[in-house]
Amino acid sequence: MSTFENDRYRWRETYFLLFDSGKRPDMEQVQKLLKKVNRQFEVHNPRVDDDGGFESVTVLAPSAYAALDISYVDGEEVQEQTVELSREFRDSATSPEERGKLDRLAACDARFDILHFEEVSDDGEEEETFDPSALLMVVEALAKLTGGVAVDPQSGTIM
């Protein structure tokens, strides 16, 4: 079940983490990583492919009043996106670090879609203690695990 179908959560944003499909982690690696990032994370609905490769998972971060849906995508769609993103960020990549990430982006053929949700109260109001750090910590940890490049498409930045 997607968090979109859960009335307790409202979608906030989506980040992309692009990487080489040869570095696709298995579910055990992802679950260990998530527990290392924050022991309070609750992992739900883990799905793997026939070879044990990570497919998707839902992560609840109760102390941050947040949830994440993480899913794996590969193929032509990702390759087209990397070409488009490389074109988009070419002029704004000014530092050597940003240009290095842009070069790595061109070789990516897989992606994690990381959807970030905010927990809402029973009356549909946003929780006042919502903390976006769960998203940022998970994106950073997954980027290190995969050697990937994180993209925030809403702000148009590579991380």
Annotate 93-120 with DSSP letters as a single string: --SHHHHHHHHHHHT--EEEEEEEEEEB
Q: How many residues does the chain have?
A: 159
Mean pLDDT of 35-57: 94
- Contact call for residues 3 and 117 (beta carbons, < 8 A): yes
Q: 134 near 7, Cβ under 8 Å?
A: no
For the residues 45-50, what does the mean pLDDT come to?
Answer: 94
Q: Is the pLDDT of residue 1 over 60?
A: no
Average pLDDT for 51-55: 92
Q: What is the mean pLDDT of residues 43-64?
A: 94
What is the sign of the dihedral through the CA atoms of 11, 12, 16 and 21? Answer: negative
Per-residue pLDDT tens digits for 56-90: 999 999 999 999 999 999 999 999 999 888 888 77
Cβ burial, residue 14 (10 Å; 0-12/13-18/19+): middle
Res. 99 pLDDT band, cuts 50 70 90: confident
pLDDT (tens digit, 9 = 90+) per residue, 130-158?
Answer: 888 999 999 999 999 999 999 998 887 88
